Amino acid sequence: MKIALLGYGKMGKAIEEIAIQRGHQVVLKIDEFSIKDFTAENIQKADVAIEFTNPHSAYENIRKTIEWGVPVVSGSTGWTDKLEEMKSFCKEQNGAFIYASNFSVGVNIFFEINKKLATLMAPHTNYEVILDETHHTQKKDAPSGTAITLAEQILEQVARKKKWVNELSDDPADLEIISQRVDPAPGTHSVKYSSPIDDIEIIHTAHNRKGFATGAVLAAEYLVGKKGFFTMKDVLNL
Ligand SMILES: NC(=O)c1ccc[n+]([C@@H]2O[C@H](COP(=O)([O-])OP(=O)(O)OC[C@H]3O[C@@H](n4cnc5c(N)ncnc54)[C@H](O)[C@@H]3O)[C@@H](O)[C@H]2O)c1
């Protein structure tokens, strides 16, 4: 498979390593210093593009790649207020697109556990639920995309929580997400239900970026030859 990397930072480099190990070829690398090379002609040399840039450039990068007819896998966070719009654009263009706030197999299993736990905890109003995410200090967005996915899953099940907030709150209808930035930390997420009697807590800790990178390459392998919008749930058949 020929891969174009949009974004060649910590994730782009980790993806390149895994892609080569899996027998793929990286035919284009775009970063903030080589944006002029991000053209239809260049990207069409690839079978698939993998986009890990930042909250400001992700939307345009994904949109152009779809427009230029190349399947795209994106993991950039902090832009997903426009995700629904992008899904519609992908459909209109008969494109192929996978988005995941977190590509690691472990986190996607953690998402399924989070949904199940939220369903079980929904009737137990004596438990307060809180989310915590810890990442490295270079992370540009807060809360993390993964924490937002976890929060949305909880909000779907736990009716006493109405919205997530990224601060401490006195309103019992708020689901608090506490963001901490410390080095080195590829990403830790926890969901804790606390009552005066006991606590139930689930935690996922990434030890390095390999899990995200492997998941992104698996997603690219899955996407080639398909049309439509998919998630890691499809890729991993969860
Ligand atoms: N979904 C996941 O599993 C997952 C995992 C880790 C990180 N992330 C997200 O991936 C993104 C990248 O993370 P990172 O740690 O590699 O960041 P990074 O800062 O190390 O790298 C970002 C790269 O994007 C490039 N870039 C900036 N503007 C660009 C533009 N307009 N066009 C093309 N490239 C551009 C930069 O030059 C750099 O190479 C972040 O949004 C992060 O939150 C997602």
Q: In CATH, what number is assigned to the domain containing residue 171?
A: 3.30.360.10
Q: How far is the CA of 30 from the centre of ligand 1 (A)?
A: 11
Question: Does residue 50 have its Cβ closer than 6 Å to ligand 1?
Answer: no
Is the same domain home to 85 and 17? yes
Is the same domain home to 124 and 138? yes
Q: How many domains does the chain have?
A: 2
Report pLDDT for 133: 97
Q: Which run of H or E residues covers position 85?
A: helix 83-92
Give the chain's end-to-end CA distance (angstroms, integer).
Answer: 25
Is the same domain home to 119 and 201? yes
Is 135 an annotated catalytic residue?
Answer: yes
Q: Which run of H or E residues covers position 26?
A: strand 25-30
Q: Which run of H or E residues covers position 221?
A: helix 210-223
What is the span of the domain harbouring residue 125? 105-205
Q: CATH number of the domain at 89, please.
A: 3.40.50.720
Would the CA dihedral through 10, 14, 20, 22 be positive or negative? Answer: negative
Is the same domain home to 78 and 156? no
pTM metric for this prediction: 0.92
Is the same domain home to 148 and 170? yes
Is the same domain home to 190 and 136? yes
Is the same domain home to 169 and 228? no
Is the same domain home to 76 and 21? yes
**pLDDT per residue over 50-106, tens digit each?**
999 999 999 999 999 999 999 999 999 999 999 999 999 999 999 999 999 999 999
Nearest CA among 13, 58, 15, 20 for reference residue 38: 58
Mean pLDDT of 201-217: 96
**pLDDT per residue over 151-191, tens digit each?**
999 999 999 999 999 999 999 999 999 999 999 998 999 99
- Point out which residues pair with 128 in neighbouring strands: 194
Q: How far is the CA of 73 from the centre of ligand 1 (A)?
A: 13
Is the same domain home to 109 and 89? no
